């Protein structure tokens, strides 16, 4: 997201924080227009408490490996038909462009590699890649506000299933899907806290660069509110019940088939990411 004209990065972050604070206070203040929330509640959170957790991690293989681990947190398989194969010595399905772009490629295989080890145990049809951040998201009194965002070129053909998401490190729920395409041109902004809250947004040309973002703020001893944005435009606010105090992994992956359809592409599928950023307020 671009900072308002004439403002600094710090001022922009203060506006982000104020918007979240205003939304959290909505039951007391009455309904708020998300576009004006920052102006209505600028006193809630000061930008001096802001800190960067993750930024610039796709500049080189060294910076990538300093900030991210390969595969899913639980291994190579998940709920689709792609098995993840990236590593320090295997760049067939995950590599970096000199411009700071992460590239993930899914390739259809022609041999029998058995089934995924994860429910619903689908047959493996593709090799692909995933990474998860070494640092986790944890909403609590010390870190009550978080921003996660990135720019992505996402595949949207039937059978392609790219994602940028956070999910419980030690339990499920919680989950928040910042980017998820399921075989068509709609992004699914999802929150799972035992039941699903879905906001489905059409995206013009998902294969072009778009920014996907959340602002997550602690609203009670147990709950958070998550604001979802596409290209800087507010799209939804979801409640995440019992998210507070639960560590969450940050994942970027290209899964295939499964929820995106059973007839995936025969050729290669590419998914690209750049400018992935994570920040938080620190009350410590």
Q: What is the pLDDT of residues 132-180, one digit of tens each?
A: 999 999 999 999 999 999 999 999 999 999 999 999 999 999 999 999 9
Containing structural domain, residue 117? 50-281
**Do 38 and 58 share a domain, yes or no?**
no
Q: Report the distance separating Cα 144 and Cα 6, nearest Å.
A: 28
Tell me phi and psi for residue 118, to 5 degrees. Answer: -115, 145
The residues assigned a catalytic role are 175, 180
**Do 19 and 139 share a domain, yes or no?**
no
CB 104 within 8 A of CB 91: no
Residue 99: which CATH number?
2.60.120.200
Q: What is the mean pLDDT of the chain?
A: 89
**pLDDT one-digit tens code per residue, 77-132:** 999 999 999 999 999 999 999 999 999 999 999 999 999 999 999 999 999 999 99
Helix or strand run (H / E) with residue 23: helix 9-24
**Do 114 and 24 share a domain, yes or no?**
no
Tell me phi and psi for residue 177, to 5 degrees. Answer: -100, 110
**Do 191 and 246 share a domain, yes or no?**
yes
Lowest mean pLDDT among 23-32, 113-122, 179-188, 271-280: 23-32
**pLDDT one-digit tens code per residue, 44-87:** 555 559 999 999 999 999 999 999 999 999 999 999 999 999 99
Average pLDDT over every residue of 26-41: 40
**Do 31 and 135 share a domain, yes or no?**
no
**Pairing, β 210-218 against β 82-84:** unpaired
Average pLDDT over every residue of 245-253: 99
**Do 57 and 1 share a domain, yes or no?**
no
For residue 156 the two structure tokens come to 């949207």
CB 21 within 8 A of CB 45: yes
**Do 134 and 225 share a domain, yes or no?**
yes
**Do 102 and 155 share a domain, yes or no?**
yes
Q: Report the distance separating Cα 169 and Cα 180, nearest Å.
A: 19
Q: Report the distance separating Cα 237 and Cα 216, nearest Å.
A: 9
* pTM given for the model: 0.87
Q: Report the distance separating Cα 213 and Cα 147, nearest Å.
A: 7
**Do 20 and 113 share a domain, yes or no?**
no
**Do 57 and 39 share a domain, yes or no?**
no
Average pLDDT over every residue of 11-17: 48
Number of domains within the chain: 2
**Do 35 and 142 share a domain, yes or no?**
no
**Do 26 and 70 share a domain, yes or no?**
no
Q: Report the distance separating Cα 107 and Cα 155, nearest Å.
A: 13
Helices and strands in the chain: count of H runs, count of E runs:
4, 17
């Amino acid at each position: 997201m671009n900072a308002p004209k004439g403002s600094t990065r710090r001022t922009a972050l203060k506006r982000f924080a104020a918007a979240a604070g205003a939304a959290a206070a909505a039951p007391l203040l009455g309904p708020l227009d998300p576009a004006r929330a920052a102006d209505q509640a600028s006193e809630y959170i000061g930008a001096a408490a802001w800190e960067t957790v993750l930024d610039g991690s796709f500049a080189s293989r060294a910076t990538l490996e300093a900030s991210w681990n390969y595969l899913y947190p639980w291994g190579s398989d998940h709920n689709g038909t792609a098995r993840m194969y990236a590593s320090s010595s295997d760049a067939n399905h995950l590599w970096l462009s000199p411009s700071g772009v992460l590239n993930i490629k899914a390739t259809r295989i022609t041999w029998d590699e058995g089934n995924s080890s994860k429910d619903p145990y689908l047959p493996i049809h593709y090799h692909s890649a995933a990474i998860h951040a070494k640092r986790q998201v944890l909403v609590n009194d010390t870190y009550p506000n978080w921003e996660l965002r990135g720019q992505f070129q996402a595949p949207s053909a039937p059978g392609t299933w790219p994602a940028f998401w956070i999910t419980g490190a030690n339990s499920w729920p919680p989950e928040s899907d910042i980017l998820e395409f399921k075989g068509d041109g709609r992004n699914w902004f999802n929150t799972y806290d035992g039941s699903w809250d879905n906001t489905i947004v059409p995206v013009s040309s998902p294969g072009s660069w778009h920014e996907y973002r959340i602002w997550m703020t602690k609203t009670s001893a147990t709950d958070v509110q998550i604001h979802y944005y596409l290209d800087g435009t507010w799209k939804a606010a979801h409640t995440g019940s019992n998210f507070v105090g639960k560590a969450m992994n940050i994942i970027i992956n290209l899964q295939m088939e499964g929820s995106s359809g059973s007839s995936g592409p025969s050729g290669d599928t590419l998914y690209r990411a750049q400018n992935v950023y994570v920040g938080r307020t620190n009350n410590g």
